[in-house]
Amino acid sequence: MRRNLKTDNINIHKTAATVFALNLIEIIMLIGIIIYNSITKSMNQISNNEGHIFIYIVVLVVIINSFITLRYVYSIAGNISQFHMLEDTLDKLEDLNTSLRAQRHDFMNHLQVVYGLMEMEEYPDAMEYIDRVYTDIQSINKFLKTSNPAVNALLQAKVLYAEKRGIEVRMNITTNLKELKIQPWEFCRVLGNLIDNAIYALQGKVGERYILIELFEDLKKYGFRVINNGPEIPEELIERIFDAGFTTKGEAGEGMGLAIIKKIINEVGGSITVYSNNEKTIFEGMLPR
């Protein structure tokens, strides 16, 4: 049964806020103790030196606790993006699974139609019907090129999204990504951002518009390319394109997508480069196996 990641995400926010609030209360209490101690220097229960030692211990405990707490809050906040990616991946997997189940459900009906046409010796009609069914099957099977269901689902979603906008998507996949070093949803984040950027780059183009997605491998590395025939990216922009906060989309962009891609790839010892001219733009990445 699928978990409700949106609810989990809300709980994470609540947990982080609660922990932060408790830590803030501790700091306020510490300030109150310090103020109280400065006002009551001549208290009878403990000497000034003992009072100072007590304050120092409290300060040290609060500082250590604050450090640990803020570290966990930061870790929780970092996991929120992973929940978003997992949720998006599950949605895409459900869509792909629905398409496969519908295809399987209709398969027997298709066989019955073909059998009936051949029984009536309507061979040309039977061949035409088989051709249509085969085309429909191929439209789904072309996404099932890797051993990674999340990547397959992402490709289906992005291809359909692009084709609805009149953009032709070509794929050349010669690897099953069986030994992918990074988490599948992180690789989906990389591919998804690059494909989205390619779609955006082609929005204003007149005439033929296409995106080529390539996944390949050698003995030591997996490679990927996302190519589009959109406008050329100037050299001065290419030098800054992976910088956090830099965007060519104006108000429509946040400038974090490519920076996040580079961070994910660098963390596993990979690399990513971009090349652009007036014919095509190529984003190429390499990941160690």
**Mind giving me the DSSP string for 195-209?**
HHHHHHHTTT--S--
Residue 253 lies in a domain: yes
Residue 16 lies in a domain: yes
| 166-180, 193-207, 236-250: range with lowest mean pLDDT | 236-250
Same domain, 73 and 157: no
Structural domain count, the chain: 2
Domain that holds residue 50: 5-80
Residue 106 lies in a domain: no
Same domain, 152 and 277: yes
Give percent above pLDDT 70 in the chain: 58
Euclidean distance between CA atoms 233 and 237, whole angstroms: 7
Amino acid at 78: G
Given 64, 80, 96, which residue is the final one in a domain?
80
Q: Which of 204, 181, 191 is nearest to 283 (CA)?
A: 191
pLDDT score recorded for residue 51: 55
Residue 175 lies in a domain: yes
Give percent above pLDDT 90 in the chain: 18
Given 65, 80, 95, which residue is the final one in a domain?
80
Looking only at the bridges linking them, the beta strands covering 210-217 and 221-228 are antiparallel
Same domain, 53 and 174: no
204 or 62: whose pLDDT is higher?
204
Same domain, 170 and 282: yes
pLDDT in tens, 55-65: 667 667 767 76
Residue 96 lies in a domain: no
Same domain, 68 and 173: no
Report residue 286's pLDDT band, with 50, 70 and 90 as the boundaries.
Answer: very high
Euclidean distance between CA atoms 214 and 205, whole angstroms: 22
Given 41, 61, 80, which residue is the final one in a domain?
80
Residue 199 lies in a domain: yes
Same domain, 272 and 160: yes
Same domain, 191 and 266: yes
On average, the pLDDT of the chain sits at 76
Max CA pair span of the chain: 111
Say which CATH number the domain at 226 has: 3.30.565.10
Residue 65 DSSP symbol = H
Is the pLDDT assigned to residue 208 strictly greater than 60? yes
Place of tokens 């994470």: 12
Same domain, 189 and 282: yes
pLDDT in tens, 216-245: 998 889 999 999 999 998 888 888 888 876
Residue 216 near residue 287, CB atoms below 8 Å: no
Residue 285 near residue 223, CB atoms below 8 Å: yes
H or E segment and range at residue 168: strand 168-173
pLDDT score recorded for residue 2: 46
Neighbours of 150 (CB within 10 A): 23
H or E segment and range at residue 133: helix 123-141
Q: Which of 111, 106, 114, 113 is nearest to 140 (CA)?
A: 106
pLDDT in tens, 85-143: 666 666 766 766 676 666 666 666 767 777 777 778 777 887 877 777 666 655 556 66
Question: 3-state class of 111 per DSSP?
Answer: helix
Residue 111 lies in a domain: no
List of long-range contacts for 202-206, beta carbons under 8 Å, 24+ apart: 202/167, 202/228, 202/229, 202/230, 203/165, 204/231, 205/229, 205/230, 205/231
Report residue 271's pLDDT band, with 50, 70 and 90 as the boundaries.
Answer: very high
pTM of the model: 0.60
Euclidean distance between CA atoms 153 and 185, whole angstroms: 11
| 16-20, 172-176, 259-263, 279-283: range with lowest mean pLDDT | 16-20
Same domain, 154 and 281: yes
Place of tokens 């289906």: 156
Sheet containing 281-288: order of strands: 168-173, 210-217, 221-228, 281-288, 271-276
Same domain, 41 and 151: no
For residue 285, the Cα-to-chain-centroid distance in whole angstroms is: 16
Give me the half-sphere count of Cα atoms (radius 13 Å) on the Cβ side of residue 84.
8
Residue 113 lies in a domain: no
